[in-house]
Chains A and B, each alone.
Chain A
Amino acid sequence: KAGVTQTPRYLIKTRGQQVTLSCSPISGHRSVSWYQQTPGQGLQFLFEYFSETQRNKGNFPGRFSGRQFSNSRSEMNVSTLELGDSALYLCASSLTPKGSNYGYTFGSGTRLTVV
């Protein structure tokens, strides 16, 4: 079966702009989580959505937001981009918010560069 699909794969944006990243979970998975990975902070949890509702949120400023659609696809948005937002953004899907017995399945990520 198809894995977690994230688009675009690479993105370059200018400071002050906003960006939208997309994630399509594995078919049948209803929970989508987002993570940010930087060399300095490592992998950090952003938020999780289940049944179109945000169920959990990490410690990120309000510039970071997300949503989930009825087909479980999710988008995350970052407004007023800063240089420090340059990172690999990873999406993970699971059957339920608790990750099921087999944890989460991650996509390959979107590499965002802010210049």
Chain B
Amino acid sequence: DAKTTQPPSMDCAEGRAANLPCNHSTISGNEYVYWYRQIHSQGPQYIIHGLKNNETNEMASLIITEDRKSSTLILPHATLRDTAVYYCIVRDTGTASKLTFGTGTRLQVTL
């Protein structure tokens, strides 16, 4: 699985959009980009995933660059409950049966 690089921490004001970047310059054609988050003392929670196209669900939007070497997770209206560690993971769903977590980005949402 390709490695990812994320900033260690970010702050966001409540109600504003949180944009979390991720670099995955060695991503291969079969690898998807997955985002999970982990709220303190809980298990990781699936947020969204994508291959090439931008994706949106009820939780977030995922923007993947055309060359697929980086992506951005967007939480459109961050709340205090979005404070968590966010993990960007690339995975070949055709072969890999595990998730390789990096160090993630600690997002702090403040009033």
Binding site for B on A (CB under 8 A): 4, 31, 33, 35, 42-45, 48, 50, 55-56, 58, 88, 90-92, 97-99, 101-109, 111
Contacts and interface: CB of A to CB of B under 8 A. Distances in A.
A108 B101 contact: no
Contact of B46 (A44, A50, A104): A104
Q: Is the interface of B mostly helix, strand, loop or mixed?
A: loop
Contacts of B93: 98-99, 101
Contacts of B97: 31, 33, 48, 50, 55-56, 97-99
Contact of B43 (A42, A45, A48, A108): A108
Given A42-B103, A98-B93, A90 B98 contact: no
A105 B46 CA distance: 7
B98 A106 contact: no
A92 B43 contact: yes
Q: Is the interface of A mostly helix, strand, loop or mixed?
A: strand
Contact of B36 (A42, A103, A108): A103
- The 3 closest A-B CB pairs, nearest first, are A106-B43, A43-B101, A97-B97
Contacts of B21: none
Given A98-B94, A99-B93, A42 B46 contact: no
14 contacts: A33-B99, A43-B99, A55-B97, A56-B97, A58-B98, A90-B43, A92-B44, A98-B95, A99-B97, A101-B93, A103-B34, A103-B36, A104-B46, A108-B41
B1 to A, nearest CB: 11
Interface in B72-111: 87, 91, 93-103
Nearest to A90: B43
A48 B98 contact: yes
B45 interface: yes
A45 B99 CA distance: 7
A98 B34 CA distance: 13
B36 to A, nearest CB: 7
A56 to B, nearest CB: 5
Contacts of A102: 46, 49
